[in-house]
Structures are given as C-alpha cells and as structure tokens.
C-alpha cells in the first residue's frame, strides 16, 4: 500500500527537526488539498502520455515528419469519410457483431475488427491533435472521434458485453487504443463519457487480470495489461488503479528459470516454449520504457533494484539479436509470417528490419531511466545500427510511429554521440535453444528445438509452415550484403522443407502441423553446447516433427568459418531426407554467379545438377562452401512462387516470385546412417574459398558418428567435440555426454570449456 503525502504534509515531515510542533490542518481542507494534488498529478501524467504517444522535439515542417504528418491527415480524412455508424459496425469493412460469438477463428476476426475500429479512432484523434496534418483542430474530425467512441461503447465495448473471439482484443488491443484516445481528447469528453469508458475497461480488465502471474498475464502481456490499468487510472482519476499497475509489474522483472520471462543467459520466452525476443520481447521492452518514462518522478514511480535486470537485458538479451538495424527472425516466432496483410490499405511489408527499428527506439527511450553511462553506451549502439541499415533505413520506415521516428532522428542529429561498431563474439542461449555468432563482416544465428523449446509456433492462422525452423536453421548476414536475405519475400516463397542448415524429411505435413502456441516439443534433451564467448561447439539431437527422422547435428563456430557436421541420420517415413547446405534468396533477378571447383555454372532458371565429388562452391556476392574430402551435392536454381496467404491466413493473396540457389545433400529415402560435412564461409571470395579447400589440413574431422562429432583446426589451436555418449575422440576421453571446446594459446596454455547440454 502506498501512502499519499500532500505537499503540506511532506513539508511538515521534512522540517520536523527544526520545529517542535505543527498546527493540524482541518480534515476538510486536507481532503480538498489531496484531491487537488491528485487532479494536478493526473493532469501531469496525461500530458506526459500525450508526449510519449505523439512524440516531441521534431519540426512538423521538416522531413521526414512533414510527409508523415501529411500522410496521417490524408489517412484520417479517408477514414472520416468512410465512417458510417450502424448496427454491428462503425466502418462497413470492420463488422464486429459476431452472429455466433465464441472463440473460433471467425470470432477472432470479429473481435479483431473491434480492435481495429478503436485503432482507427486513435488515428483520427492523432490527426486532430498533431500539427501539420491538415486536419489539426478540425471540428468535424473532433465530432467524428466523439461519435465513434460513443457508438462503440453503446454497441459493444461496455460493462454489459460478454467478450468473444480473441481475449487480446478485449483486454489489451481495444482498451489501449481507447485510453490513448481518451488522453488525446480528454478536454472534449464529458465526465459521464469518461466514467462510461472507464467502466467498460474495468469490466474487461478487472483487477483480477493481474492477480496471478500465469496464463495470458505474463511477460509482454503483463506489461500490456499494466499499461491499460495505469492509463485507466490516469484517465479516470484512480490512484488505486495506477498503484496496481505499478505493483503488478513486479513479477516481470526477476529472472525466471522456467516459463515466460527473461533468463540469466539472455533468453526471453513467451507462450511457455517460444523464443520471442524480437516480437513479444519488443513489446515488453517498449512497454516498460513507456511506463518507466510515464511514472518517473510521480507518486507511482517504478523503483527497486529488480528493474536493473531490464536495463542489463538491453545488452544481455536484445543486442545479440540486432544486426544492422534488423532483429533476427529466429527469435520472432510466428511474426515471421506477417509480411503483407490483406487488410493493410498501404500494403507495407513487415520484415526483420521493420521489427528491429522499434526495438532500437525503445532502447533509446529506456535509456531515460537508466544510468548516464548505460544510456550513453546504448545511444552509441543504436546510432551504429541505424547508420548501418542500408537495406531498410529506419528514417524511411513507413510503419514506425512518429514518437520512435523522433527519438531516432534526435539521436542521429546528436553530434556528441559516436556510433559503436557491431560487437563480435559468440552467445549461446541454452534456455531457448538459440545461438548467435558475430564476426567482423558478418553475423549468424542458429535455431534449434528441445523438450523445453518448441519446433515452431503457429496460432491465429499464422506461420502455418514454420515446421522446420527449429531443425538447425542457420541464418547469416553480411555487413554490407545479404541484409535483405530473409526480408525480401523469403518466407512465402522459400521451400519450407529446405531451410538453410536444416535436416528434414520430405514427408508432407499439414498446415499448422503439431498444434497451436508451440504445443509440439521434440522429446530430446541433448541440445546446446559450450562457448568461451568467441568460438563455440554446439550440437542438436534432432527428432523430426511428426516424423521418424533422427539425426545428430553439430556446428563449430570459428573466426571466419562455421564447420557443420551431421551423422546418424535415419528415417522410416518412406520419403527422401535432405540436409540443406544453402538456400539463398537471390531476389527477383537472381543473377549471382555460382562456381563449383573453378567452373562457373549456368545462370539459367530452372537449372539443376548433381555435383559429384565437389570440393568447394561459391555464390558470388554471398560466400563460400567447402566440402572436406569431396561430397555429392545437389544444386539447383529455381524460381519459386508464393503468397503471404499461404503461410498466414490474414496475408495478401498477391503472387510473389523469387529466385533461389539451393545446395543440399540427398540422404535418400529412409536412410539408416546418413552423414554430411561442410564449411560455411560467409563473405568469402571465390579465391579464398578455393584456397581453404586446397588447404586439406586446415580442419580435421576427428569424429562424425552417431556417438561423437568433433573437429580440430591446428592453425587456430581449436578442438571441439560433442560427445553424444561417453567415449574417446582423439586425445579426449569423456565418461558421459558432454560438449568440449579447447583453445590452445601461443604461450603453451589452453582454455578448456566443458558443458553438459542435457536439459531436464
């Protein structure tokens, strides 16, 4: 319980040492003072929230703000002209009246339309308040907003309505937009309207929504619910609601050892089994930044040592997955399927860059509540990421909000901040079966699955074919190339059974196979590895989704190379099994040269060839591949067509075409002991790739069996072995399953790292 002090009471207490007594304040006067102070403080907080959601420090006559504000006005004008209050809808294309209210997919759509209706009113309100929209202060626009609020309240969002469809629309989406509009239009609303709208929020988001830290009230969802409660308190003048919002954030801060939240190793989990740093994690980071800024300096300031965990997570959890402005897809869950939405009139394609930019801006905002040292370093990191995002410059991001845009513009204009280069090193996130490897000139990310981490997440009709994204998917990007590799319509056009780095059965799977919300987990517990922070040895015991496929996969992350091994590959699905060495998205034209053992292959589409005894291959402008001792690899160029609606029921039905260059090892139908070995060299030239292949002693494969996998690189003093079972590999003897990495130094010493990846 928080004790409220009046100004007079505070002054009395603070001067008690100098005064022997004070005259009591009449009870009625004190109550009036407290009420006046509360009203003043709520007004201050409403003003702060307006600034947070509208932005500050930008000129409405300077670009990119001038154009964005004009676009906001144009959009608002169109929405105002099409708004037509009627039974069951506020806009004809957003019918929210559900003829059969329940929680099926159709009902999700109706509840989503309610959410969208409030979002449109929010757009109208912003156009009314923001300068330079062409509709600033327009009385007819004001009337439209107020009419819309009353219509939605009387029709559907009120204390007598039973929710249907998606809980999120009723508890987070709609009330957040509604309360934002209430703040923006506060001076135009009557006391009765405010009371009615607050009563509706209280009905759908009661105090009990945050009573227990479980279900849909954890992690990012909990932060969103607390935002609703805080704004409801500020709009409705309830100290208790704001205090509840502040206190209900407490379970979000501590590290967790299972379920949703932040882990000590930097992992972030939502929906119990899904790595979600780039999507729900973005919501959590942005939401906390907003609430910290809103309540800072107020009666309800968020204090306490546990909030430092959030500050530490900027570099511990988020920074490892940010590269040149993008956030890596391996920690964005089903959001990877949200490209072009069928309902988006602007047809803005969402991707890893557009998801990354709000995270950058949220880090800047969070810095306002952190230490001076932390804030300065974060600003340097963000400035570097913004400046290096050549593929999708944040200042041109059509989806990022004006407040975030203003924060990034202010940072870019700040000459006292020097941009910080991309960090190098390896990070292993054992609690979410992910790893990142960052070297000068490139970065990579690895996605796996185990008994705690799902194969993939589907739900709400999204990410319908993400089946194999946890089967050893190895993403990689260059510093000045390949940053659009997974942004440029990759997910709707790629062969979902040939994702780079994965081993998969060609068994036909149904859309959303395995169940919604990360329900399907492989029954394996040897997934992980060991690292010294620069190099790593990582392994995955792979069991296929709804398949009999079994495989042992290992990756050894080195200075300019990733050594990839596979063994014990077996399956009885009656279908072919393949390991995809590479499946590079070459864009709409696809004219990158492909060279194998010094011979340039045809640029024609389609083209395919079995590369028998291949020792090395190179994709121009991308990188090189070495096959120790030679390998039989199938290669093809193909034009693939797909639609976002193929992988997301709400996606655009427009056909897209992209050209791919694919290399894969065909293990045959129902293999019993398949293997593979190859080196990935991101950014290498053809000459560098050829030289590495010619240096046959550069890497030695010590073991590549169902029991152990290991390599040694004498020139680096590196040895890495994954013992799936105890045994002997070279000079190493293990009595039990473990992962071992040795880095020998020039002075005769060595760093030895050992881990037990078995998860319980």
Q: How far is residue 206's CA from residue 171's CA, in Å, rounded to a whole number? A: 9
Whether 391 sits among the annotated catalytic residues: the reply is: no
Whether 280 sits among the annotated catalytic residues: the reply is: yes
- Residue tagged active-site, from 115, 221, 583, 585: 221
- Neighbour-count burial of 745, counting CB atoms closer than 10 A to its CB (0-12 exposed, 13-18 middle, 19+ buried): exposed
Nearest-CA neighbor of 362 among 469, 450, 298, 279? 279
- Neighbour-count burial of 630, counting CB atoms closer than 10 A to its CB (0-12 exposed, 13-18 middle, 19+ buried): middle
Annotate 276-332 with DSSP letters as a single string.
-TTTHHHHHHHHHHHHHHHHTTSTT---SGGGHHHHHHIIIIIGGGEETTEE-GGGS
- Neighbour-count burial of 377, counting CB atoms closer than 10 A to its CB (0-12 exposed, 13-18 middle, 19+ buried): middle
In sequence order, which residues have a C-beta less than 8 Å from that of residue 491 and are 6 or more positions away?
336, 337, 339, 647
- Residue tagged active-site, from 153, 271, 357, 618: 271
Nearest-CA neighbor of 226 among 249, 204, 199, 252? 249
Residues in the chain: 760
Q: How far is residue 551's CA from residue 524's CA, in Å, rounded to a whole number? A: 11
Annotate 551-614 with DSSP letters as a single string.
EEEEEEE-SS-EEEEEEEEE--SSSEEEEEEEEEE-TTT----EEETTEEPP--SSEEEEEEEE
- Residue tagged active-site, from 280, 455, 475, 486: 280
Q: How far is residue 659's CA from residue 639's CA, in Å, rounded to a whole number? A: 4
Is residue 331 within 8 A of residue 278, CB to CB? The reply is: yes
Q: How far is residue 342's CA from residue 360's CA, in Å, rounded to a whole number? A: 27
Is residue 743 within 8 A of residue 750, CB to CB? The reply is: yes
The side-by-side arrangement of strands in the sheet containing 274-275 is 261-262, 268-270, 274-275
224 alpha-carbon distance from chain centroid: 16
How close are the terminal C-alpha atoms of the chain, in Å? 40
In sequence order, which residues have a C-beta less than 8 Å from that of residue 508 and are 6 or more positions away?
none
Question: Backbone phi, then psi, for 225, in 5-degree steps?
Answer: -65, -40
Is residue 289 within 8 A of residue 366, CB to CB? The reply is: yes
Whether 271 sits among the annotated catalytic residues: the reply is: yes
Nearest-CA neighbor of 469 among 449, 452, 488, 443? 449
Distances (CA, A) of 452 to 26, 441, 455, 519: 62, 33, 10, 10
Q: How far is residue 20's CA from residue 64's CA, in Å, rounded to a whole number? A: 61
Distances (CA, A) of 14 to 5, 11, 22, 25, 660: 12, 5, 12, 16, 72
Q: How far is residue 399's CA from residue 354's CA, in Å, rounded to a whole number? A: 7
Beta-bridge partners for 758:
526
Cis peptide before 145 (omega within 30 of 0): no
Catalytic residue annotation: 221, 271, 280
């Amino acid at each position: 319980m928080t004790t409220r002090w009046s100004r007079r009471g505070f002054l009395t207490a603070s001067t008690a040492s100098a005064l022997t007594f004070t005259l009591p304040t009449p009870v009625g006067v004190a109550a009036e003072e407290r009420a006046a102070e509360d009203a003043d403080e709520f007004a201050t907080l409403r003003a702060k929230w307006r600034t947070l959601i509208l932005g500050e420090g930008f000129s409405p006559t300077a670009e990119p703000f001038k154009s964005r504000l004009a676009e906001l006005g144009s959009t608002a004008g169109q929405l105002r002209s099409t708004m037509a209050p009627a039974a069951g809808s506020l806009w004809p294309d957003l019918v929210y009246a559900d003829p059969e209210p329940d929680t099926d997919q159709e009902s999700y759509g109706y509840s989503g339309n309610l959410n969208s209706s409030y979002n449109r009113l929010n757009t109208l309100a912003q156009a009314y308040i923001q300068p330079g929209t062409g509709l600033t202060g327009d009385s007819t626009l004001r009337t439209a907003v107020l009419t819309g609020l009353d219509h939605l309240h009387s029709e559907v969002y009120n204390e007598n309505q039973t929710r249907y469809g998606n809980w999120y629309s009723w508890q987070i989406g709609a009330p957040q937009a509604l309360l934002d509009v209430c703040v923006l239009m506060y001076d135009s609303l009557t006391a009765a309207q405010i009371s009615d709208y607050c009563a509706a929020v209280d009905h759908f988001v009661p105090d009990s929504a945050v009573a227990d830290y479980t279900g849909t009230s954890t992690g990012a969802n909990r932060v969103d619910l607390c935002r609703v409660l805080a704004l409801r308190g500020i709009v409705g003048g309830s100290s208790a609601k704001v205090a509840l919002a502040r206190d209900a954030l407490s379970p979000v801060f501590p590290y967790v050892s299972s379920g949703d939240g932040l882990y000590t190793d930097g992992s972030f989990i939502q929906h119990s089994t899904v790595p979600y740093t780039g999507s729900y994690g973005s919501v959590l980071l942005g939401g906390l930044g907003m609430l910290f800024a809103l309540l800072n300096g107020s009666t309800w300031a968020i204090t306490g040592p546990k909030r430092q965990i959030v500050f530490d997570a900027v570099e511990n959890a988020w920074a490892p997955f940010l590269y040149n402005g993008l956030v890596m897809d391996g920690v964005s869950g089903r959001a990877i399927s949200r490209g072009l939405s069928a309902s988006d009139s602007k047809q803005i394609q969402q991707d890893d860059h557009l998801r990354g930019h709000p995270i950058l801006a949220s880090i800047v905002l969070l810095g306002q509540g952190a230490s001076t040292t932390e804030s300065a370093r974060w600003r340097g990191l963000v400035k570097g990421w913004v400046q290096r995002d050549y593929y999708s410059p944040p200042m041109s991001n059509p989806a990022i909000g004006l407040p975030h845009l203003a924060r990034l513009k202010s940072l870019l204009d700040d000459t006292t901040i020097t941009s910080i280069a991309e960090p190098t090193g390896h990070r292993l996130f054992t609690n979410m079966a992910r790893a990142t490897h960052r070297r000068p000139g490139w970065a990579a990310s690895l996605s796996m699955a185990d008994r705690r981490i799902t194969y993939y997440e589907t739900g709400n009709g999204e990410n319908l074919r993400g089946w194999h994204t946890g089967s050893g998917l190895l993403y990689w990007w260059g510093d000045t190339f390949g940053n659009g590799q997974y942004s440029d319509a990759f997910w709707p056009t790629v062969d979902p059974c040939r994702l780079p780095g994965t081993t998969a059965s060609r068994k036909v799977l149904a859309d959303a196979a395995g169940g919604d919300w990360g329900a399907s987990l492989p029954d394996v517990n040897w997934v992980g590895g060991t690292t010294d922070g620069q190099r790593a040895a990582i392994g995955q015991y792979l069991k296929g989704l709804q398949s009999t496929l079994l495989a042992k996969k290992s990756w050894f992350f080195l200075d300019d190379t990733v050594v990839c091994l596979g063994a014990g590959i077996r399956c009885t699905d009656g279908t072919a099994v393949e390991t995809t060495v590479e499946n590079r998205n070459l864009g709409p034209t696809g004219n990158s040269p492909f060279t194998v053992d010094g011979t340039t292959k045809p640029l024609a589409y389609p083209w395919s060839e079995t590369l028998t005894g291949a020792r090395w291959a190179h994709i121009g402008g991308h990188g090189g591949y070495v096959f120790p001792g030679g390998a039989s690899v199938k290669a093809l160029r193909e034009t693939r067509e797909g639609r976002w609606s193929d992988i997301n029921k709400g996606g655009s039905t427009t056909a897209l075409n992209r050209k791919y260059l694919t290399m894969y090892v065909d293990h045959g139908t129902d293999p019993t002991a398949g293997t593979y070995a190859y080196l990935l060299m991101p950014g290498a030239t053809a000459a560098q790739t050829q030289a590495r292949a010619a240096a046959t002693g550069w890497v030695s494969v010590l073991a590549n069996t169902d029991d152990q996998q290991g390599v040694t690189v004498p020139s680096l003093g590196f040895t890495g072995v994954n013992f799936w079972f105890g045994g002997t590999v070279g000079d190493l003897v293990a009595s039990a399953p473990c992962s071992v990495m040795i880095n020998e130094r020039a002075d005769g010493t060595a760093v030895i790292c050992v881990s037990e990846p078995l998860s319980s």
